[in-house]
Amino acid sequence: MAGLLYRLGRFAARRHWLVIITWIVIMGIAGGTYALFAGTISSSITIPNTKTSQVQDQLADKFPSANGGNGTLVFETTDGKAFTSAQKSGVDDFLKDLEDLNGVKGATSGFSTQDQLDDQRQKIVDGRKEISDGRAQIKDGQAQLDAQKAQLESGKQQIADAQAKLDAQKQQLSAASASGAAATGAAASGAAAQAQAAQAQLTQAQAQIDAQQAQITSGEQQLTEAQQKIDENTTKLDDSAKQLEQGSDLLDLSKDIRFVSSNGSAAIGTVQFTKSTYEVPQSTKTAISDKADAAEIDGVRVYVSNDIAQGVPSILGPGEIAGVIVAAIVLFLMLRTIVGAAVPLVSAVLGIGVASLAALSFSSLVEFISVTPVLGVMLGLAVGIDYSLFILNRHRTQLKQGMGVHESIGLANGTSGNAVVFAGATVIVALLALNITGIPFLGLMGTVGAVAVFFAILIATSFTPALLSIIGMRILRGKERTRIGNTGSTRVPNKPMSTWRAVITLVAGIAVLGTIALPATQMRLGLPSGSSEAVDSSQYKAYKTLSKEFGAGQNGPLLVVATLPKAIDEGDVTATEVTIGQAIAKNSDVDAVLPIGASKARDIIAFQVKPSGGPDSISTEDLVKDLRTQNVNVDDGKATLGVAGNASANIDVSEKLSSVLPLYLAVVVGLSLIILIVVFRSFLVPITATAGFILSVLAAFGGLTAIYQWGWFGSVFGVHDPAPILSFLPIIEIGILFGLAMDYQLFLVSGMREAYAHGASAKVAVQRGLHAGRAVVTAAAIIMISVFAGFIFSDSSTIKPIGFGLAFGVLVDAFVVRMLLIPAAMHLLGKSAWWFPKWLDRIVPDVDVEGAKLERSHPGDRNADLQRNSEPEPARVGAVHAHEDTRTGTHALPVEPDANPHESGHEPAHRAE
């Protein structure tokens, strides 16, 4: 690889305009493909096959009317008073206008929704009064009916008495008729006449009694019919009362859900989309936000919530530009020439331009989330500057030693460029490994980041040499050009650090990093909510207004879907809604439950649940888990509950990312060990390097938790409302910091290995390697920290913590782990750090990362009289070729007496500690 890069560097130097024009053409092609094939970028983060997506699929299949996401708009009067009629009309007209947008199913005013709820509650009150009045009427009618029944019974008794009396008279008449029949003459005639008269009276009396009995019978029939009617009305009233109380129970469940604030100064507008909120095109959301910003409703402010207004962050804002300016200043202070400082910057900008345009050309085929291109720019800019700097710095050193421009460019490209390729490859591998998580958006982020690093490598090893060829000797200052070939002696350390210093440094460093990492034990993961946005943003104002006027839970309502054991009758829907709704409301973190309705087949019922906490609170997370494990007893068995909604989706994404984090960490740590074993031909060196990387990551996590979750130093970093850590940040942090940590490990420890291989004692080699590489690593780290830190002050709540996490992670890893802890650990390990089995040494390939073999075979025309050390060398060492350190250009380390120099990495035959 070193030889190939050497030839590439020489070619770029000789054909510099061809190389530059080629890159410009590539840039143009990338821009053309972007213009032709670029699609939209989404601001939403989704993961397929989560519990939330399963519920949404179920709704799409069985309950289309309840399917689709919702977006919230908040309307607030400027004077804090209740809305006027004109203002209400303005809000209604504004929402009606949104229905014409593509992807919008409908828009509902909070005024109409609140009126419906209030009307329903009033109907309950009126219905109860009607039922009460009806029961009073029935009671009065029953009383009258009972009185009539009593009168009828009294009449029946009178008739019975009269009938008994008449029957007695009939018996007396019959007896008298019998005795009269025995008489003769006039007596008989008189008795017969009397009997006939009495019989006529009895017949008349019987007719009267029969008439009265008929009236009684008719009265009984009327009373029976009246009683039946009263019973029917009572049953109807009972049924109405039951239905009314069921409706009352449903309204009681939703009594804490309002769409107009209690003082009437704020109202909620709801936009229902044809797709879930995460699938709604960004163009639709942007159109809604634009209309809200341009709304002209007199005396009314319109705020758009985070589920609509979370847009695509700008790639370069004031903070990012400030970071680049700081990087430019560092380059100038290091190189002392404007043209020299401009080379890495121009190379990095070209690299991120080509990489970004090329990657975004595929955005119509795969879904890009908003942070993906920003991450690519962040990485491409940082590593692009650093990688070009490594080659440029080596080239400058060689020119000062008297080497020709083209030869110096080729050799710098073959040595430092070779190290750049290897270091960049580790970053690319770590980023591409994000695809093993099985999370599409995360794998795409890693791939785009890897593409940015790949182009940074290509630019550094081809475009940068071409620029250096055009610049020629002007890359050096005037004074440096006058002193070419007379660089003076280069002193290298020959005394190791003290053991006590190494012990104190190691213990103190681990203690400090461990303390910084402690907050990471309390780290919670989540996605940004409106509270994380800038205080002057629409989504922040919407979040705060909803929390103040409607409760925190209104910012993240849950959609709960109950799946019934079997379809129910239409008349049983309300009762089933009450049963399930009351079961849901028994959860301690539920403020209100609002039934949405049942599916057409009546086998699922949907509810809107307002939690007591906000969308990123622990209580809401616990509530989602509790609801998903809850079964509700219904008439035909148990109903199971599923949960969807924005808050639920955020929880699912965070849980999924948390579950794959250990796997990814294991993969990265495994790769770290394998790569470092091959490079350094040692076991203990990779172990210390990996341990240092883990310390850096944990410390970065601790800093993130303390600042963004706990709110420490919030005023400095713009954290006004602490919240959970961005759910995918830990994985991104591990991948990127791994690659960058291996960069610094390579540029420092390889110098130690080189010194050890050339005869220095193991402990002296530590100091020499640190002395050789610390300047360029310091500059590179400062540049990278500056670039990353510029993103801390982005307007996007997603970008801010990413910028801080990477900047703080690089700060800790470069200046604490690589420059303090690793040298101290290497000193304490001594020559055992470089132990490597001979049989394994023969198997493992010699990658020659820094191109030492190439350097020996291309001594160039550097000053032959250049001294390699200020101290006189023993004569026996004079035959050893001098070569300069590949990171800084310092001269080769002298072989100590009794050393057995070689390049395989084996321990010298005799070495004094």
Longest CA–CA span in the chain (Å) reads: 192
Q: Give pLDDT, residue 186.
A: 65
- pLDDT, residue 819, reads 92
- pLDDT tens-place string over residues 391-408: 888 888 888 888 888 888
Tens-place pLDDT, residues 721-740: 888 888 888 888 888 888 78
Mind listing the pLDDT tens digit for each residue in 763-820?
A: 998 998 888 888 888 888 888 888 888 888 777 778 889 889 999 999 999 999 999 9
pLDDT, greater one: 832 or 317: 832
- The per-residue pLDDT for 809 is 93
Does the pLDDT of residue 702 top 90, yes or no?
A: yes
Going by pLDDT thresholds of 50, 70 and 90, the confidence category of residue 208 is confident
Mean pLDDT lowest for which of 116-125, 379-388, 439-448?
Answer: 116-125
| pLDDT band, residue 556 (cuts 50/70/90) | confident
* Cα-to-chain-centroid distance, residue 572: 40
Residue 870 scores a pLDDT above 60: no
Tell me the pTM.
0.77
User: Do the Cβ atoms of 103 and 284 come closer than 8 Å?
Assistant: yes
Whether residue 694 is predicted with pLDDT greater than 50 in this model: the reply is yes
Q: Are 746 and 679 in contact (CB under 8 A)?
A: yes
Give the residue, 614 or 135, on which the prediction is more confident.
Answer: 614
Coil, strand or helix: which one is 265? coil
Q: What is the pLDDT of residues 305-334, one digit of tens each?
A: 887 876 555 555 666 677 778 888 888 887
Report the C-alpha gap between 359 and 814 in whole angstroms: 30
Question: What's the pLDDT score for residue 900?
Answer: 35
pLDDT in tens, 623-664: 999 999 888 888 878 889 999 877 788 788 888 888 888 888
The mean pLDDT of 556-565, rounded to a whole number, is 89
- Predicted confidence at residue 300, as pLDDT, reads 92
Question: What DSSP designation does 22 have?
Answer: H
In the predicted structure, residue 577 carries a pLDDT above the cut 90: no
Instruction: Supply the pLDDT for residue 901.
Output: 36
Cβ burial of 446 (10 Å; 0-12, 13-18, 19+) is buried
Cβ proximity of 576 and 246 under 8 Å: no
**What pLDDT, on the 0 to 100 scale, is given for residue 319?**
62
Per-residue model confidence (pLDDT) at position 244: 74
Residue 369 has φ and ψ, to the nearest 5°, of: -90, 160
Residue 511 pLDDT grade (very low, low, confident, very high; cuts 50, 70, 90)? very high
Is residue 584 within 8 Å of 254, Cβ to Cβ? no
C-alpha distances out from residue 768 to 400, 826, 885, Å: 21, 12, 10
d(CA 44, CA 38): 18
CA distances from 643 to 51, 580, 623, 724 (A): 7, 14, 10, 21
Grade residue 454 by pLDDT with cuts at 50, 70 and 90: very high
Decide if 611 contacts 559 (C-beta within 8 A): no
Average pLDDT over residues 214-238: 82
Q: At 181, which amino acid appears?
A: A
- Concatenating the DSSP letter of every residue in 482-538 gives HTTT---------SPPPHHHHHHHHHHHHHHHHHHHGGGGG--EE---GGGS-TTSH
Tens digit of pLDDT for each residue in 23-60?
A: 999 999 988 888 888 766 666 666 777 888 888 888 77
Tokens of 580: 């399930």
In the predicted structure, residue 698 carries a pLDDT above the cut 80 = yes
**pLDDT over 50 at 902, yes or no:** no
Asked if pLDDT for residue 419 goes beyond 90, the answer is no
Which pLDDT band, with edges at 50, 70 and 90, does 886 fall under?
Answer: very low
Residue pair 699/812 in contact by the 8 Å Cβ criterion: yes
Most confident of the ranges 503-517, 594-608, 683-697: 503-517
271-294 tens-digit pLDDT: 888 877 767 777 788 888 888 888
Which residue has better confidence, 616 or 508?
Answer: 508
Task: Give me the pLDDT at residue 159, please.
Answer: 81
Please tell me which of 50-54, 229-233, 521-525, 770-774 the model is most confident about, judged by mean pLDDT: 521-525
Q: What's the pLDDT score for residue 530?
A: 80
Are β-strands 604-611 and 725-726 bridged in parallel, bridged antiparallel, or unpaired? unpaired
Q: Is 646 exposed, middle or buried (0-12, 13-18, 19+ CB in 10 A)?
A: buried
Q: What is the mean pLDDT of the chain?
A: 81
pLDDT, average across residues 580-588: 90
Residue 253 has pLDDT above 50, yes or no: yes
Report how far apart the first and last C-alpha atoms of the chain are (Å, whole number): 35
Residues 6+ apart with CB under 8 A from 498: none
CA distance 129 to 63: 36
Question: pLDDT at residue 894 above 70?
Answer: no
Alpha helices by DSSP H, 640-761:
646-680, 684-704, 714-717, 729-757
Encode 203-249 in three state secondary structure: HHHHHHHHHHHHHHHHHHHHHHHHHHHHHHHHHHHHHHHHHHHHHHH
